[in-house]
Amino acid sequence: MKNINIVIISMLVFTSIFNCLSAHEISDNSASLSGFIKDSKTGETLIGATISLEGTKLGAFTNKSGYFSVTNIPPGEYKINASFIGYEKLSKKIRFKESQSLRENLQLKPTNVSTHEVQVEAEREVEKREISISKINVPIQQIKKIRIGGESDVFRSLQYLPGILTSSQISSGLFVRGGSPDQNLVLLDGAIVYNPSHLFGFISTFNSDAIKDVELIKGGFPAEYGGRLSAVLNLTQKDGNRNEIEGVGSIGAISSRLSVQGPLFDGSWFVGARRTYLELIKAVIPSDPTSPLPDFAFYDVNVKLTQNIGNDDHISVSGFLSNDGLLLGASGVSLDLTVGNRSFAGNWTHIFNDKFFTTVVLSSSYYQNSFIGDQAGFGFQIDNSINDITGKASCDWFISDALTLKSGLEVTRYNFLYYQNLTGQTDTIIKSGTNNPGALNLDFVDWNYSAYSQLNYNVNDLFSIQAGLRYNNWEISKNVLLDPRLAIRYRFSENLAVKAAWGMFSQNLRLASQPDFAFFDTWLPTDSTIAPSRSMHYILSIETEPLPDIDVNLDVYYKKMNSISELNPNAIASKSLSDIFLTGNTESWGFEIFAQRKFGNFVGWIGYALGYIQSVFPDINGGQPFRPKYDRRHDFKVVAQYQINEKWDLAATFTFQSGQSYTGATSRFLSRLPGQDFGRGKTVPSQRYGLRLPASHQLNLTGSYAFKMFKLDSKVILDIYNVYNHRDIWFRYYDTRSEETKVIDVYLLPIIPTLSLEVKF
């Protein structure tokens, strides 16, 4: 099987390369320009910065390494412009000789206010290289100003984009266009993060001080990404300051943070950490021994080292660690829960020449949860983990200004562990391979081999096309799947471009989890008893600029997902995946409109999404169609950030969504097991998730004031969560404990003001 894989992968890669070469004649006397664009103050490479040659249609974006390449430059003198949000535009004259390959690293000066300048024009020209349909880059400066409950959080910020739904206001899970959070590929420096949440899902594990780039692709993602059905969230950690040591610390309501960064030889380092201090607060609160408060804490740490080796090699090593722990004990019962992620990514980029750029990533990601308990001497333990080791290599070939090829290989070894000891004696070690009632120790491995190739062809100034193919092979299920991807872009006028994308996507990993509770997530590979999950995306997108400085995107989408899974409540003894999961299909469709202003003192966006989601599972809801719990018909969001002056900043977020779906009741009965005196009331459900709670809406305000404290740049931040104190309903249930059936609404948080202090040193 491995030989077949190698043959197919090789064929895929070489066929693409051959096709490129034969299809396009490469000019031999043109010049080229390549290099990195960096922050002049810190030396940090900038992702997504643009470079353009004035008076031509030549230009490029910097990639995830901050690298750009402009080819096919006719000899002559040009004025080059480099720009990026939050930086002053850089202009410079360069003379290119025949066949000259010029390497030029450009440094942009940060500025407090982003100006329109050439950014938009440059973006239009260089976007031909990659058709970024449904892709949103939210500047990290804006993400940091979106604060929920006194915390700035990457996931909570992304929830303010149209089409990104939540299961509730206290959940950081991202439900993208009808897909659930497990269908999103979350990458941190190329390593997968399996459970990116703290506080049972209230906030994500990503410390915004440690992140420099956030890229979200809501659908139709290119062939370089695979293994998930719905969306891609690609995060890049900060490299660190290459010029001087600096740091920032903050004290907030939920957690405190500290990050320090500095130069290291021809490179940099970064260390950032965050942790809660609830246990310190608990220590001063009187405790009732019969009803004690639990101990709860979380922390996360981000580390990154980068180094240049000569002009052509760049290496980075990054690590990420997160942990949540809950300890509870009283009246003979003790519970100890821990959840954690660990990831490591080693990244080597090599520039062979100005047209050929390679990246090799070796990464490992580990997610585990553990539940150890004791009830008056009866101990029990459940441990579960997934550990992947991935090697991937990719090459970017800038064949010409019109033609770019990206190809890559990926090999991943997954190790799944599930340890369950319900025998009452946790000091007894259960041997690997045991699969008895109450005593399980399952340790198994799956391999995934993937290869992809994607070609970007700029047919003419108006029309470009991006075609890709991804090959996937999984060992346990023996599934071999090909995922084709296609995107086109047609520019009707200076202010109007239409894009379309279609693609097939597959997912081998399945998540067994409880909705709204991200503590016991269990990842499992698809086996031969269940069909692989597949999805198909159709997207039509219109981008325009109807008003000066206002970019507007209108996306219409349809997504079909087959063989997706829900936990089977019927499962008592599970021998295969078909016992654990119920499978069915889901369709989602809708449109999103997104108006964004990126430049100036007043930035932000308005988004509206209309979405429909419909699932059909043969064993759920009597086989009749139903909408999932997170289906919300209307979704309206506003983010506004205003910089009054050098000292004062104001920000507001507002969301207004259709209510969450819930299941009603048509009648009730009473169940009594043998020997019982009272029994329990039960309701008979109506249409699954057929009803809606009242609309959900919330306004949050943030004001910050910058000042000097002990000669250090400091900032005090006031956050008001839920300004007008509208308490959303978290969930609704029927209380049947008495003869009267009561409809109980459990409400979410009221207005909460918090004060935070941030100090830079």
Scan residues 316-335 and list those touching other proteins (CB under 8 A): 330-333
- CB contact set of 22 (below 8 Å; sequence gap of 6+): none
Options 28, 93, 431, 678; binder of other proteins; rule CB under 8 A: 678
Determine how β-strand 246-251 pairs with β-strand 752-760.
antiparallel
The distance of closest approach from Cβ of residue 114 to other proteins in the complex, given in angstroms and rounded to an integer, is 16
608 touching other proteins, by CB under 8 A: yes
Strand partners, 724: none
- Cβ-based nearer residue to other proteins, 366 or 636: 636
Structure tokens at 118: 């050439």
Burial of 182 (0-12, 13-18, 19+ CB in 10 A): buried
> Which residues in 687-720 are b (16+ Cβ under 10 Å) and which e?
bbbeeebebbbbbbbbebebeeeeeeebbebebb
674 lines the binding site for other proteins (CB under 8 A) = yes
Q: Which of 426, 686, 701, 726 binds other proteins (CB under 8 A)?
A: 686
Please provide the DSSP assignment of 521-563 as one string: EEEEE--TTSPPEEEEEEEEEEEEEEETTEEEEEEEEEEEEEE
Q: Does 376 engage in binding with other proteins (CB under 8 A)? A: yes
Sign of the torsion formed by the C-alpha atoms of 9, 14, 19 and 21: positive
Nearest Cα residue to 68 out of 84, 47, 97, 90: 47
Of positions 433, 484, 618, 694, contacts other proteins by CB under 8 A: 694
Give the range of 133-141, 180-188, 209-217, 674-682 binding other proteins by CB under 8 A: 674-682
Size of the site for other proteins (CB under 8 A): 79
Two tokens, residue 362 = 């070796």
- Residue 433 backbone phi and psi in degrees, to 5: 95, -10
Among 41, 103, 634, 760, contact with other proteins (rule: CB under 8 A): 634
Q: Is 513 in the site for other proteins (CB under 8 A)?
A: no
The answer to the question of residue 52 lying near other proteins (CB under 8 A) is no
Amino acid at position 452, single letter? Y
Does 618 engage in binding with other proteins (CB under 8 A)? no
As measured in angstroms, the least distance from the Cβ of 392 to other proteins is: 41
Least separation in angstroms between residue 659's CB and other proteins is 5
Does 684 engage in binding with other proteins (CB under 8 A)?
Answer: yes
Q: How far is the C-alpha of 13 from the C-alpha of 319, rounded, in Å?
A: 31
Site for other proteins contains 378 (CB under 8 A): yes
How far apart (Å, rounded) are the C-alpha atoms in residues 668 and 682? 6
Residue selected from 691, 723, 748, 752 as contacting other proteins according to rule CB under 8 A:
691
Cβ proximity to other proteins: between 37 and 564 the closer is 564
- Scan residues 162-201 and list those touching other proteins (CB under 8 A): none
| Residue 676 binds to other proteins (criterion: CB under 8 A) | yes
How much helix, strand and coil, in percent to the nearest 5, is found in the chain? 10, 60, 30
In 40-177, DSSP assigns E strands to 50-53, 59-61, 67-73, 76-83, 90-96, 101-103, 106-108, 135-137, 147-148, 151-152, 164-165, 175-176
Tell me: does residue 724 bind other proteins (CB under 8 A): no
**Choice from 622, 707, 712, 761 touching other proteins (CB under 8 A):** 622
- According to CB under 8 A, which one of 679, 750, 753, 755 is a site residue for other proteins? 679
Q: What letter does residue 130 receive in the DSSP assignment?
A: S
Three-state SS at 754: strand
Give yes or no for residue 22 binding other proteins (CB under 8 A).
no
Binding of residue 736 to other proteins (CB under 8 A): yes
**Residue 90, φ and ψ in degrees, nearest 5:** -110, 125
**Is 3 an interacting residue with respect to other proteins (CB under 8 A)?**
no
The yes or no reply on residue 673 touching other proteins (CB under 8 A) is: yes
For the CB of residue 606, give the shortest distance to other proteins in the complex, in Å. 7
Residue 602 binding other proteins, by CB under 8 A: yes
Q: Does 656 bind other proteins (CB under 8 A)?
A: yes
Residue that the structure tokens 């950014």 belong to: 119
Of 19-27, 235-243, 552-560, 652-660, the window that binds other proteins (rule: CB under 8 A) is 652-660
| Sites for other proteins among residues 271-290 (CB under 8 A) | 289-290
What is the maximum span of the chain, computed from C-alpha positions, in angstroms?
94
Of the candidate residues 482, 531, 709, 743, the single one contacting other proteins (CB under 8 A): 743
Query: What is the rounded distance in angstroms from the CA atom of residue 254 to the CA atom of residue 35?
Result: 42
Rule CB under 8 A: which of 542-561 touch other proteins? Answer: 547, 550
Q: How far is the CB of 292 from other proteins (least distance, A)?
A: 8
**Which range of residues in 21-29, 39-47, 318-326, 562-570 is near other proteins by CB under 8 A?**
562-570
**Which of 672, 725, 750, 753 is in the footprint of other proteins by CB under 8 A?**
672
The answer to whether 569 contacts other proteins (rule: CB under 8 A) is yes
Does 636 contact other proteins by CB under 8 A?
yes
**What does DSSP say about strands 581-597 and 550-567: parallel, antiparallel, or unpaired?**
antiparallel
**Of residues 409-468, those binding other proteins (CB under 8 A):** 422-425, 436-439
Dump the DSSP string for 199-267.
GGGTEES-BGGGEEEEEEE-S---TT--S-SSEEEEEEE----SSS-EEEEEE-SSEEEEEEEEE-SSE
Q: Does 109 bind other proteins (CB under 8 A)?
A: no
484 binds other proteins (CB under 8 A): no
